[in-house]
Structure 1
């Protein structure tokens, strides 16, 4: 999948994240067909003086008011359970062959380079776009290979879509072909919500390096302002 590379932080204008529009889409097939970039929205950007290497958002989105089942099968209130922490939020599904495991795996490696005290201040949350197949147990097994502290949420797809839409993240119904391969089209970006206001301030596209994640996660854990 094409990645967005930058040498300086960027300020992404609000026009880039209009309702129903996704900056980048991932069409993942469990048959291993690969990920296709449907094209990023055209946006205007300007330099930012932020220390962060991720894309700095000019419009800060509210953390979704979302309650689904966690990997133990119990209700998980995203806002309540992550209060006071920086949250990295990603929408995807476990049978995705490429962008989902790559993104979550890279975040997991970056998290492993932080101290326990720093990791305690962060929450990585994965919301399934294929809840019919991503049961709590399936989701837990998959996430454990990336990070045992990662939070998995699964449940009503209508709720997932409703939570993703205001963030500019498109989530479509999974499609199963005649051979049983699942394709789920979903936004491939990671949003970082900061605890000061529980809003998204940073965005990371597919292909973001482990080093960028490590650098920014350390700043977040240490309370560095965007």
Structure 2
């Protein structure tokens, strides 16, 4: 699984990652280990490796954090037919970090795709929003080789 976002996101990123964590917890241990969830930050200026790790640990300590917001992730987004992320210099509301409620330096937002990609050995799935943890879990099981329930 891969999702592009940023830890200061006030809505989509924390809820999507929490749903992915809940879905992963629903799997039997043997299949859970086959599901790798990678979060690619598109805000490397604020999302240091330590900030990213702390944020992901609150969701699932086994989630993988990757630094993005560069030419390589822009190319990856193009390959996935997703729009490139961009800085929103003056968001309509202050950027408040969801973990501590404080406005952080660099009062800006990041416009990023809200798509989760799931890559399996024989198929690729994508989710554009509104996916429930149960649906993710069912698809995780299929992609990890559990077969239909």
TM above 0.5, yes or no, is yes
1:169 and 2:82 aligned? yes
Separation in 2, partners of 1:194, 1:220: 5
Cα distance 1:94–1:156, how it changes in 2: closer, same or farther (>3 A)? Answer: closer
Measure how far apart 1:171 and its partner are.
Answer: 2.2
Please tell me whether the aligned partners of residues 42 and 69 of structure 2 are also in contact (alpha carbons under 8 angstroms).
no
Gaps of 5+ in 1: 1-87
Cα distance 1:124–1:142, how it changes in 2: closer, same or farther (>3 A)? Answer: same
Aligned with residue 41 of structure 2, among 109, 128, 131: 128
Measure how far apart 1:223 and its partner are.
Answer: 5.1
Partner deviation per Cα, 1:126-163 (whole Å, 9 max, x = no partner):
11111111110010001011111000000451211111
Please tell me whether the aligned partners of residues 130 and 157 of structure 1 are also in contact (alpha carbons under 8 angstroms).
no
Partner deviation per Cα, 1:102-149 (whole Å, 9 max, x = no partner):
111001001011122111111101111111111100100010111110
Please tell me whether the aligned partners of residues 103 and 207 of structure 1 are also in contact (alpha carbons under 8 angstroms).
no
Normalised to the residue count of structure 2, the TM-score between the two structures is: 0.82
Please tell me whether the aligned partners of residues 130 and 184 of structure 1 are also in contact (alpha carbons under 8 angstroms).
yes
Q: What is the CA RMSD across the aligned residues, in angstroms?
A: 2.0
1:106 and 2:19 aligned? yes
Partner of 2:103: none
Partner of 1:214: 137
Helix, strand or coil: the match of 2:18? helix
- Aligned length in residues: 135
Separation in 2, partners of 1:209, 1:148: 21
Structure having the higher Rg: 1
Gaps of 5+ in 2: 95-105
Partner deviation per Cα, 1:204-226 (whole Å, 9 max, x = no partner):
1122111111111122222549x
Partner of 2:109: 183
